[in-house]
Structure 1
Amino acid sequence: MLAAAYAAMAVVTVRRRLVRRDAERLVAALLDAVDATAEGLRAGALPDGDPAREGTRSRPDPAERWAGAVAHVARARLDAAYRLHEALGVPLVDLLERVESDLRAGQAVRAGMAVQLSAAHATAAVLLLLPVAGLWVGAALGTRPLWLLLHTPLGAACAVTAAAMQCGGFLWTARMVHAATAEVR
């Protein structure tokens, strides 16, 4: 049970990091497409289509589905720029430049937020590794900590209580980080 709780916390942590990384990669690819389209328009080329839709299928792949709200907001801004261009005749290059500057500003804010939240992530990692360090120190002193935790009633109660408190702290930290980053898109 204890191993499953720690494994679940590790899986959640890795999954969240992969989602953030995929979202940033997707936004970077969209920025490259917007920049290339804007450069082509400045050079006099006619737009081939929406850079947000280039190379994508009608159904998003799993990476896009898990990429989070960041990529969806970027895609919505590009769609809005194309609708404005088509409906009102606003020059597309101007709209794409504004979308690009907005997306770059969002990237800078998210990067700054990640730097500020790195202390919270480091604290959570240290708190997850402390039990392993405690078991190692106990074993080095010859006290047989695993046997005490798994074969005595008091040890089992301590192990379950410690795991529950760590899971609660982990979830609380994750919620605080999510609340801090929810509005930064």
Structure 2
Amino acid sequence: MTTTVVVPLLLLGAALALLPPAGALRRIRTRTASRSVRATGAAGRRPVAVAAIAALATVLIVVSGSVAVVVAALLVGATAHGRIARARADRERIAQVAAVQAGLDTLAAELTVGAHPAAACAAAADECAPPVAEVFRTAAARARLGGSAAQGFRGARGPAAEAFERIAAVWLVADRHGLALAELLQAVRADLQGRARFRRRTEAGLAGARATAAVLAGLPVVGVGLGQLMGASPWRVLLGGGVGGVLLVVGSALACAGLFWTDRITRRVVS
């Protein structure tokens, strides 16, 4: 058997070996459910994603007969997957921080009228969606058992963990020094709103730079397409292996590196 046949068979076998059964996926989701919803989804999808990548690599090698095509496709796919995952994580963080702000409104209002911290946290949980509501319920349980609700907020995980850490910090300050907790919570909410407004303005200002980076990364593809229309047959050179395969991998790596570096710079400005 030639290498062109052996390598696809090995990759296909790896794909089948890495694909977990349904029972295993259920156990993964059950064990990680208490940590965070996001972590649960990532743990459940990771083995399937690895198996899908191995199967796709098998198909590409069989169709093209070139390992360079597979390497270039994996580079582009990994870059696209990373950018989509980061965008999804940003949307999730924004939604959860907004839910925390809504919960803080209810929490501060309940404490202002003299409600017990446990009842106030429970009322705030009713105004939020999971997993933010679960954190408020944990804090309510802590307060109901005689402890400090700050410990419930401090143990929170996920995209809104930083916001909950701020709530825990001001709660501990109020417990230690006897300050008005409702006013401190309103200050935390105002701080979260200010940070959200700053992030939106910064994201809007960086939209042009990100669009320019995406256009520049796609220009080589447009150039190759124009060369193909002119009869220069660049695809045959790039997909034919040898020097063309090396150029395909290097070009794909440089384009992906440019996108990665642009995202790193813009995200550092936003954060």
TM-score between the two structures when normalised by the length of structure 2? 0.57
Name whichever of 131-140 and 105-114 sits farther off. 131-140
Could you say which residue in structure 2 is the equivalent of 1:54?
136
Distance 1:100 1:159 in 2: 51
Could you say which residue in structure 1 is the equivalent of 2:31?
none
Give yes or no for the alignment of 1:164 onto 2:164: no
Could you say which residue in structure 2 is the equivalent of 1:122?
211
Distance 2:253 2:81 in 1: 17
Could you say which residue in structure 2 is the equivalent of 1:40?
110
Post-superposition offset of 1:107: 0.6
Alpha carbons of structure 1 residues 49 and 82: separation in structure 2 relative to 1, 3 Å: farther
Aligned partner of 1:54: which letter? F
Could you say which residue in structure 2 is the equivalent of 1:11?
81
Give yes or no for the alignment of 1:139 onto 2:221: no
Rg larger for? 2
SS at match of 2:239: helix
What CA RMSD, in Å, does the superposition of the two structures yield over aligned residues?
2.5
Post-superposition offset of 1:98: 0.5
Could you say which residue in structure 2 is the equivalent of 1:113?
202
Distance 2:185 2:219 in 1: 49
Distance 1:46 1:88 in 2: 18
Distance 1:134 1:160 in 2: 16
Post-superposition offset of 1:181: 2.6
Higher relative contact order (CA 8 A, sep 6+): 1
Aligned partner of 2:192: which letter? L
Percent identity between matched residues is 30
Gaps of 5+ in 1: none
Alpha carbons of structure 1 residues 132 and 56: separation in structure 2 relative to 1, 3 Å: farther
SS at match of 2:231: coil
Number of equivalences: 175
Gaps of 5+ in 2: 1-70, 125-131, 140-151
SS at match of 2:91: helix
Which of 71, 78, 81 is the matching residue for 2:167?
A: 78
Aligned partner of 1:19: which letter? A
Post-superposition offset of 1:82: 1.5
Residues 15-47 of structure 1 show CA distances to partners (whole Å, capped at 9, x for unaligned) of: 111111111111111100001112223344333
Which of 82, 86, 101 is the matching residue for 2:190?
A: 101
Distance 2:241 2:168 in 1: 62
